[in-house]
Structures are given as structure tokens and as C-alpha cells.
Amino acid sequence: MSNAVAQADHHAHAHHPAQQHHFDTMPQQKEAAVLGMWVFLLTEILFFGGLFAAYMIYRVWYFEAFAEASRRLSLFWGGLNTAVLIGSSLTMAMAVRGAQTNKRTATVNWLILTMILGAVFLGVKVIEYQDKFANYEVPGATYNWMYHDERAAAAGGEHAAPAPGAAHRQLALSPGQLQRTTQIYFSLYFTMTGLHALHMIIGIGLMSVITWMAWQGKFDDQYYTPVEMSGLYWHFVDIVWIFLFPLLYLVERHQ
């Protein structure tokens, strides 16, 4: 048995304080973390993938209902949030850059800015959800598709005027059909954006820990893996939104 396993010649180097005992080298440790993070993001794709599959099927089946329901979302708030998130991806990338180049203060500042942008996004989401609750557009027993139009009509004046382009749209669906099938749209809307928002909240939580670590000077050009990993996560959450925005807000809104 003695020659079955030869002992490799591994002499001890001066170890970086962040190197864990079961890794031989820092690059090995980093490669493991990067691969692990990408595999994790793969599971996230599959996680959201189930919802996207459901969305795709129902959108094909009930396209008109989805198009109508999509018009109930605010392009302004959705567009603003898209811009905010893309901006936060930029600040996140800057934070990683700061960590790679040993710039402690810059890293911390960029991370804080990223968290602020994330919080802005969530704040806007609260405003949007609030509007849905106020208009009985949350699926369930109280869901009322007609309420939005009725309230607009009751308000009278210019608010009663149909939305731009509405005159051209000839709906094949009765209010009863819309009442049923638009609930599927809003069920998906709340589940998808809700899970996305949950990922944002987790991301902000992660980042506050990373910010604290960065502030304490735990990172340098040899070891910035946690910053980079939370960056990957943040970009992923951003990309999910890049898909959610057109799928939910822009269903046939070119008219």
C-alpha cells in the first residue's frame, strides 16, 4: 500500500489571514467561491424559471387580459425603478473595483450608495403595491377589475377620459372574463415582483455585512471575494428585474 499514495511536496507558504485551512492556496479558495456562487445563481435561474414558465403559458392563453392588466401598472414608476437598479449595478461594480484596488473608503461609499439605491427601489415598490391595494387589484376575494374604471368615471372630468389609444382597442373580452383572467396576471405580478423584492432585501442585508467588513479593512487586492460575490448576486437580482420590467409593464404598450 505504501506506493499507492505518494505524499506531495507541499511546503507551507505565508498564509493570508483569510485563507481557510482546507484550501492549499488563495486562488484555489477564490475559484471555489466563484464557482459556488455561479452554481447558486443557476439555482436562482431555475427558481424564477418556474414562474417565468407559468407566465409564458398564461400570457399566450390570455394575451388580451395580460395586455389590459399590464396597462394598470405605472410606466413612470416601473421605468424609474429600472433606471435605479441599473444605476445600483454600476455603483456595485465600482465597489468591487474599489476593493480590488485597496481603496477602503471608496469601497464603503459605493456599497452604501448601492444600498441606498436598493432602498429607493423598494420604496417605489411600496408605492406601487399601495396603489394596487387601493384599487382592489390584489387577487383574491376582494379583487375587482372594474373598480379602477368606476372610480375614474366617478371622479369625472378629464380623469374620465379613456386612456390614450384606448379608443382603438376593441376588447374581445367581457368584464366578467377580465375579472377572472386578469387575476392570473396579478397573481404572477405579485409573486414575481414580491420574490424579486425579497431578493433585494436579502441583498441589502448581505451588503450591510460586507460594508461593515470593508470598513474594518478586511479586504485587499488579495482577498475581496465577499465583495465580488455579493456583486454577482446583486447583478443577478438586477437582471431578473430587466426581464420582469418588459414582461409585466410593457405587454403591448406600444399603442
Binding mask 179-218 for other proteins (x = CB under 8 A): -xx-xx--xx-xx---x-----------------------
From the CB of 33, what's the least distance to other proteins, in Å?
A: 8
Contacting range for other proteins; rule: CB under 8 A; set: 45-53, 93-101, 107-115, 242-250: 45-53
**Alpha carbons 245 and 76: distance in angstroms, whole number:** 12
From the CB of 83, what's the least distance to other proteins, in Å?
A: 28
Taking the least distance from each CB to other proteins, the nearer of 102 and 187 is 187
Q: Which residues pair with 223 in a beta bridge?
A: 220
Taking the least distance from each CB to other proteins, the nearer of 57 and 163 is 57
Q: Which of 13, 15, 16, 42 binds other proteins (CB under 8 A)?
A: 42
Taking the least distance from each CB to other proteins, the nearer of 70 and 107 is 70
**Which letter does DSSP use for residue 221 in this model?**
T
Taking the least distance from each CB to other proteins, the nearer of 129 and 190 is 190
Indicate whether 40 belongs to the interface with other proteins (CB under 8 A): yes
Residue 216: name the closest of 226, 201, 230, 202 by CA. 226
Contacting range for other proteins; rule: CB under 8 A; set: 144-152, 175-183, 215-223, 234-242: 175-183
Residue 222 φ/ψ, nearest 5 degrees: -85, -30
**Alpha carbons 11 and 125: distance in angstroms, whole number:** 55
**Alpha carbons 226 and 207: distance in angstroms, whole number:** 9
Type of residue numbered 53: A
Grid cell in block for residue 140: 383574491
Contact 179, 143 (CB under 8 A): yes
Indicate whether 35 belongs to the interface with other proteins (CB under 8 A): yes
* Distance from chain centroid for Cα 76: 18
Taking the least distance from each CB to other proteins, the nearer of 22 and 168 is 22
Q: Which of 46, 161, 167, 172 binds other proteins (CB under 8 A)?
A: 46
Q: Tell me the chain's radius of gyration from C-alpha atoms.
A: 24
Q: Which residues pair with 230 in a beta bridge?
A: none
Residues contacting other proteins: total by CB under 8 A:
48
Query: Which own/partner pairs from 134-140 qualify as long-range (CB within 8 Å, at least 24 positions apart)?
Result: 135/72, 137/72, 137/186, 138/186, 138/190, 139/183, 139/184, 139/186, 139/187, 139/190
Q: Which of 14, 17, 43, 164 binds other proteins (CB under 8 A)?
A: 43
| Interacting residues with other proteins between 110 and 149 (CB under 8 A) | 139-141
- Binding stretches for other proteins (CB under 8 A): 1-8, 10, 20-22, 24, 28, 31-32, 35-36, 39-40, 42-51, 53-54, 57-58, 61-62, 139-141, 180-181, 183-184, 187-188, 190-191, 195
